[in-house]
Chains A and B, each alone.
Chain A
Amino acid sequence: MAVDAIAQPELEQIERIGGADLVVGILASDPNCDADAVRGMVRAALGTMSKPVRTVVVCRNGAGGAENPGLPDDSQSPAVSFFKFADPDPAKGPLQTLIDAYQTILTVGGKLGARASGVIASEPRTITAQSAVYRLFQPLLELGFDLVMPRYNRQKTEGLLNRSILSPLSRALYGERLQNPMGPDFGISGKLLQRMAERDDGARRGFQVNPLASIASTAASGGFQACESYLGVRVQAATNWPDLSTLLALVLGPVFLDVERNAALWQRIRGSKPLPWFGNPETESGEAGTVDTQRMLESFHLGTQNLQEVWGNVLPPTTLLELKRLARLPPAQFRMPDDLWASIVYDFVLGHRLRTINRDHLLRSMTPLYLGWIASYAIELETAGQAEVEARMERLAAVFEARKPYLLSRWRWPDRFNP
């Protein structure tokens, strides 16, 4: 990880801490990182482990944080140190701030030579933070895993970018069935962190590096052992609809860049395998509520009317025709076929690689298509139960795998298939 993510005085503080077995970043939305409460929580979580774990807790220097930095508090075992980093420039926006925070935490993990590092970014609702720490780091420290990714108990309208693009794409390309390939909570071993740092060298080519985007691919490329842990239900932030295109650009940009970087790897991988998991899936909790599909369909229609020229740079004529046909369907019959959606995602991945148009334009122009997919998903699964939703997502992921040869062909011979 890049050392320049941390200012010089903070680097000196890290050096004073010396070393650690575990670095835990806490990025929950509440910036009040109370040192005593967090120490107590981490001690309770890690106290049950067979060996004492020297831990460094990293969090933002929020409003309530009083102490910094922490030499280990050795009065109780296991030793827990504290490191608070300066709040990043708020002008960068919340997503970019979050990405910078991840970068900082992983840099601290690398600098301290920790056996395991990780981040807890979401607020668990049905399990305690203590359980979340245990579930994320116990497989790393005691069971020899290199990567622990989260599994959440989600309402059917939660995690939609994960469901529609990130998870099926990661599964089809890297062969590992991760529910949330980009966390946001995760734990990684020191070996995997080191590998990520090596791969990051020279990877910053004009596009913002997001460490979350390369975790799954790095683990797959090095044959690292990955698993998943159930973290229950988490608090979901409300969607900022006017800024949805920024979210897509910030999340998908690094993911597509990572696909480009790992082309040699994913072209060799066929099929996918399920991963071991820990914890217990909870039963569905509460009603999902209704989604305003009307607005999404309007956005999709507006896109098909106005963005044909932009989409025409990346999508083949057959796909454009299919989208026009979809736009004519009445709302109740609106369904985006999985084949079409997988092809669209693959075409955008390729368009991003070929720089057919400006990358930011490309990613932002995907917003109406993504909203079209959400509308189709919400209409189709309006009355579906959790099991039905999971089965539906499994079918979508299988289609992504089945359509992988299409991406391979276009990737290898883009001119032959050029729209």
Chain B
Amino acid sequence: MTTTTMNETGSTLGVLARQEIRNYLRHKLFWFGTAMTALVVVSMFAWDDTGSAASYMIAPGAMLGVLGLVIMFGLTRRSDRAAEAAGAVAVPEHTRTLALAGAVVVPFTAAMAAYIAAIVAWNARPPHVWVVPPGVSNLFIYAEMFGDGVICAVGGPLLGLLLARYLPKRGVAAIASVLLVLVTIMLQGNFAGGQPYRVFWFWTYFIGQLGWGADADGSIHFKTAPGNPFIWVLYLLVVCALGVVVAVFHDPESDRIRLRKVALGLVGLALVLGVLTVYVGYTDVLVNPVPCANC
């Protein structure tokens, strides 16, 4: 009997997830974001300076992540309205939440394509000698790009899902997108010392022409901002998982006791990984001794 119920739930979830994936794919904002991301991919290969791929993942982060927040908020509200219209026999909220979370496969796929293109560009058009400081490997760059591009393209929609569950008010998605960018831009690692605490945020830079001042002779050097991008990627994955659990937890009919335990475990794990991101590995600012020639 239990097996039958689980199979039915699984089959409902599968059907709903496919429906939400189709809804996501039909959204005009998704295609606008994808087109803009593709445009930036083209510019990265065609006319941008070599090495631009290191900072390029802002494209999927903004165009698939920030817009994804709004898309998912809208899809969730639509799912809720449909459930209300269907009445008491409707699918439980936690199943609909999981189906909506499953739709992030759409921005994930688009962001992965952009990520692969960025890695190809990084290798096909190697960066200038003044870009990467000594001691920084290609894997370091790839990890930063994965966190900033792929995970943020998934994290944005998951944040939209959370907001729609806990703050289902008119205009919340638009205001949230502004606040998200407002905080993110302050935590790029662009201020004195590279802001080590910034790694607790969803998006940041680990390398770049970070602007906390030129040398006495006026020269500007590329540098790393403190923090370990490899552990940061794990931290972001845990935060995404936590987002899904908290969104499912909203349903009073869900197994809240178990979900609370899982959520607390994930919060603990996220905190540990965040602290490790700050203190393990790349704790210092690495500066490229070759001054930037076109900054």
Task: Indicate whether A and B interact.
Answer: no
- Interface, chain A (partner B; CB < 8 A): none
- Interface, chain B (partner A; CB < 8 A): none
